[in-house]
A and B are shown apart, each in its own frame.
Chain A
Amino acid sequence: MTTQTKSRLIVFVLSALVWWALTDIGKIEEALIGVIVAAIVSLLAGKFLLTAEKPGRWLRRLKYALIYFFHFLWEMVKANFHVAYLVIHPMTPIKPGIVRIKTKLTGEIAQTVLANSITLTPGTLTVDIDPQKQLLYIHWIDMKSTALEESTEQIAGRFQNLLLEVFE
């Protein structure tokens, strides 16, 4: 099976499931229309989901994806209390700045996930990304360093190694 067919199949199953979750599952008409719509969606846009395949070891990658997910949730809760503290504090003790960091990730999806995770975790917001040079520009609300290596470690170190295991 080619990558494109696989990608279309995954999109088909996912969109059918979403449709069934959103509509009244008991009615046969609804279920049939769901299948038709899912087919149309997977024909039109199905090839964009999976662009490159990495060989095997699904269980290992799934394990790291799960670890990453819970790690991310925990970081996000921390982020919220951090922002709440900054907002409630009468002086708003912030020290903002935009720094650049260099990531080891090369894949498009991996970089996107990293950038989004950085945005949702304590004090950092991705402003821009340079996929070729693997640079990310981060607005840091409580800046601790301007050196490339140190800020990379501080900001992306939490996720980068887990994402390396998941995606590459």
Chain B
Amino acid sequence: MIRETIGLILIFVGTAFDFLGVLGLVRLPDVYNRLQAATKCVTFGSAGILCGVFILQGFNTFGFKALLGIAFIFMASPVAAHVIARAAHRSKIALAPGTKTDQYAEDKELR
């Protein structure tokens, strides 16, 4: 009973953060800012959902799959964000108008 409650709360919190991440994807101005929302909230939200599934299921095959899913999301999500951001910058997608500095572009000019 308590286990089910904790699991369901975790799933709920995870879904809420996933929702916020998606909202950020719509609201923030450019690729890079959107990636910030997408990586942080969606990683945490999905990890929360999987953690809830693990608590609901306990130590069986299903639960272990959820745990492994968390580990892989944590490793893959930042790498994906980095690759997308780098590719966007290299193909000269402009930063949002409010952006203050771009030291990366300065350094690439020098190379």
Contacts and interface: CB of A to CB of B under 8 A. Distances in A.
Interface stretch (A35-43, A47-55, A139-147): A139-147
Contacts of A94: 28-29, 33, 98
A119 B82 contact: yes
B90 to A, nearest CB: 9
Determine the main DSSP class of A at the interface with B.
Answer: mixed
Contact of A96 (B44, B79, B95, B105): B95
B91 interface: no
Interface in A81-132: 83-84, 86-88, 92, 94-100, 115-117, 119-120, 123-128
A139 B85 contact: yes
A146 B71 CA distance: 34
Contact of B82 (A21, A86, A99, A127): A127
B100 A123 contact: no
Contact of A127 (B29, B68, B85, B98): B85
Contacts of A100: 103-104, 107
Contact of B33 (A23, A79, A119, A141): A141
Interface in B30-69: 30, 32-33, 35-37, 39-41, 43-44, 61, 64-65, 67-68
Interface residues of A, number: 40
Given A80-B17, A125-B39, A95 B98 contact: yes
B23 A77 contact: no
A24 interface: yes
Interface string A50-84: 00000000000000000000000000110110011
B24 A83 contact: yes
Given A97-B99, A98-B95, A127-B85, A22 B68 contact: yes
A25 B64 CA distance: 12
Nearest to A146: B101
A99 B68 contact: no
A15 B104 CA distance: 39
7 contacts: A21-B68, A76-B40, A79-B44, A88-B20, A96-B96, A100-B107, A146-B100
